Amino acid sequence: MNTEKTTEPSLPPERRHLFRTGLLVKLGFIGGFVLLVAGILIGVAAARGGLPGFSLFEKHQVAESSVVFENMRDLFVFDTVEYVETVVFPFDFMPEGMSGASILGRVSSANPQFNLASDVLKLASDPKAGLLPEERLYLKALQIANDAGLRFASPQREFVPVTVVVRAGFDVSGTPFAQGYEKEPAEKHKPLGDYFKTETIQPGQTGRLGGTRAVLRLPPLTITDIRIEDKAATPGPDVPLTPAGWKIISALVASDAKSRASNAGIIDEARKNAESFLRGLLLEAGFDEVRFE
Amino acid sequence: VVLCSVCSCGVQKPVDYEALQSRLRSVLQVHTCEYVYKDISYLAESEKFLWMIPTADRKLLYSVKVRVRAGLDVSKGLHVRPLGSNADRQQASGQQQSRGTKSIEVILPPPCVLLVDADEASIHQYFSEEYGGRMNVSVWQSELEKVKARIAADAVKRGILVKAEANAHTLIKALLGAAGFDDVRFVQSEDVPASSAPVPGVKP
């Protein structure tokens, strides 16, 4: 009577040993593979913030900086207004219904001398190319986004919100106000008279009983500063972008903001605020009337 | 339309002046001193999968100039109080009248750091090693914010506030001197102590 178990094939003992070993190896591989897949999934989940404190990815960061004091300077700048704008680069420079291909196609047929592969920035700033201001900006933004390595096209859709601050007021650095005031000798404070005079108001003049009038000539009101906020404005994605890329994006945003701040009437507003502040101060100082020339 | 597109004589988009004007904000700041620093930063990031397989290795070296400006935030209050001429005062106290010197008291806010700003135009990138992708903007920008805080503290230590206050006095003296006040006395307003004045761009 054959009493041999039928669960294993009837093999010679040495083959049976090999069969069992092979089975164990296969099971080991399957188990290892399952563990590896699980590990990858856990690692990816942890990398995406799913499992705090655990990751199969080891991260190491080094940050070192050396700061050197370079120079100092005296300033005599009075800022009275600021223009603040946050732009989404590059999409704010790419109006709907406009496409780079159509602009370049149109311009290349009219200007065959341009090498569109390398001259996009040149083309964008050449008045002979016959582009509208928005089209120029579009091309500049397109080129700069590419140079900065920003993958703004679908599906990545990378963008950077940038906040720009334009300030206006007056700078008296080159005027006698920066030299201070000394009563004696009179030559020392004479130049101040070009900017500030006092007059006696005759009784009856402008309906007043009399008094003193301050007459001021303000130095030219100008844009005193344009700066980009150093941190990308929030909310915004954390995009791969180096300082060199940030530099060229900032330059475009800053140059474009200057014209928009001017259109917003920043200089007029700066004058209004400066006059209002000085008028208040001089009335408080005892003048009866303040006039700006 | 075809003619216009060929001739590039399209109509420019009208400027929305009202929307632009809404972005204007009044400020009253007198900037009287500026310190400039140069920051050279090195950042490195590496990632390994299962602690042994390198998946990313990024290195970045760049420099940027950071300017610190100090002065007076006049919106916190600047007031003047004429004290009359010493001739009036002497007359009132029965003294013999001498040549009149008009005096005025100026109540000023304390000087403060008004701006700490990295100048983007001065950025110089020495290299950027990008194995596994470029470094994210938040990585180097958050390091820059830390550097800016250090720089602001150093500028205060080097006396930027003292210098800014002295220059502000020069400017105000010139203005009031031209207005006929020969004797200008400065008093610091008590409302905002200098130590608590916020440093823009630097988190407390």
Q: What is the pLDDT of residue A204?
A: 67
pLDDT digits (tens, 9 = 90+) for A149-193: 999 888 888 999 999 999 999 998 888 888 776 666 666 666 677
- Tell me what pLDDT residue B200 has: 42
**Tell me, what's the pLDDT at B8?**
36
Report chain A's mean pLDDT, rounded to a whole number.
Answer: 83
Write out the two tokens for B49: 């999968």
Q: Do A196 and B178 touch (CB under 8 A)?
A: yes
Q: In this predicted model, what pLDDT tens digit does every residue of B56-77 receive, in sequence order?
A: 899 999 999 999 999 999 998 8
Mean per-residue pLDDT of chain B: 81
Residue B3 pLDDT more than 50? no
* More confident position, A142 or A208: A142
Q: For Cα atoms B192, A281, B104, give the angle at the middle one, nearest 5 degrees.
A: 80
The tens digit of pLDDT for each residue in A47-60 reads: 655 555 667 778 88
Residue A260 has pLDDT above 80, yes or no: yes
In Å, what is the CA distance from A69 to each residue of A244, B35, B82? 23, 8, 41
Position B203 confidence tier, pLDDT thresholds 50, 70, 90: very low
pLDDT of residue B114: 96
Helix (H) or strand (E) holding A164: strand A160-171
Q: Is B89 in contact with B100 (CB distance < 8 Å)? A: no
User: Cβ separation of B104 and A285 shorter than 8 Å?
Assistant: yes
- Report the DSSP beta bridge partners of residue B33: A74, B70
B79 to chain A, any CB pair closer than 8 A? The answer is yes
Scan residues 144-203 of B and list those with Cβ closer than 8 Å to A. 144-145, 147-148, 150-151, 154, 158, 160, 163, 167, 170-171, 173-182, 184, 201
* Residue B68 in tokens: 């610190």
Burial of A3 (0-12, 13-18, 19+ CB in 10 A): exposed
Residue B99 — very low, low, confident or very high, per pLDDT cuts 50/70/90? very low
Stronger pLDDT, A278 or B97, i.e. the higher one: A278
Q: Is the pTM of this model over 0.80?
A: no
Q: Which amino acid is at A158?
A: E
- Choose between B74 and A113: higher pLDDT: B74
Rounded CA-CA distance A286/A204 in Å is 19
A100-110 and A133-148 helices, crossing angle to 10°: 110
Q: Which residue has the higher pLDDT, A213 or A127?
A: A213
> Between B35 and B179, where is the model more confident?
B35
**Three-state SS at A57:** strand
Q: Count H helices, E strands: chain B?
A: 5, 6
The closest of B167, B117, B174 to A76, measured between CA atoms, is B167
Both tokens of A287, joined, read 């003048």
The reported pLDDT for the residue numbered A115 is: 67
CB atoms B20 and A196 under 8 Å: no
Check residue A107 and give its pLDDT: 75
Tell me: pLDDT of A85 over 50: yes
B88 CB neighbours in chain A (<8 A) are: none
Q: How many CB atoms lie within 10 A of CB A194?
A: 11
Residue B10 — pLDDT band, cuts 50, 70, 90? very low
Give me A276's structure tokens: 């209002």
- Token representation of residue B81: 């109080």
**HSE value, Cβ hemisphere, 13 Å, CA-based, for B159:** 7
- What ipTM describes this predicted complex? 0.79
The type of residue at A10 is S
pLDDT in tens, B155-183: 999 999 999 999 999 999 988 888 888 88
Q: Is the pLDDT of residue B38 over 80?
A: yes
pLDDT-based confidence at B196, cuts 50/70/90?
A: very low
**Assigned token pair, B121:** 């135009």
Q: How far is residue A264 from each of residues A148, A166, A261, B13, measured CA to CA in Å? A: 30, 11, 5, 16
Q: Is there a contact between A73 and B33 if contact means CB atoms under 8 Å apart?
A: yes
pLDDT surpassing 90 at residue A148: yes
Residue A24, pLDDT score: 86
Residues sharing a CB contact under 8 Å with residue A55, sequence separation 6 or more, in sequence order: A43, A46, A47
pLDDT, residue A136, reads 86
Q: For residues A221-228, give the mean pLDDT.
A: 95
| pLDDT for position B11 | 40
A85 vs B23, B123, B178: nearest CB: B23
Distance CA A30, CA A23 (A): 11
Q: Reading across the β-sheet that carries A289-292, which strands appear in turn?
A: A196-201, A211-216, A289-292
Q: What is the mean pLDDT of residues B70-92?
A: 77
Please count the other Cβ atoms lying within 10 Å of the Cβ belonging to residue A258. Answer: 15
Q: Cβ of A241 and B134 within 8 Å?
A: yes
Closest CA to B202 of B135, B144, B124: B144
For B102-160, what is each residue's pLDDT tens digit?
889 999 999 999 999 999 999 999 999 988 888 999 999 999 999 999 999 999 999 99
A202 vs A183: CA distance, rounded Å:
27
Beta strands in chain B (DSSP E): 24-49, 53-73, 79-85, 102-108, 112-131, 183-188
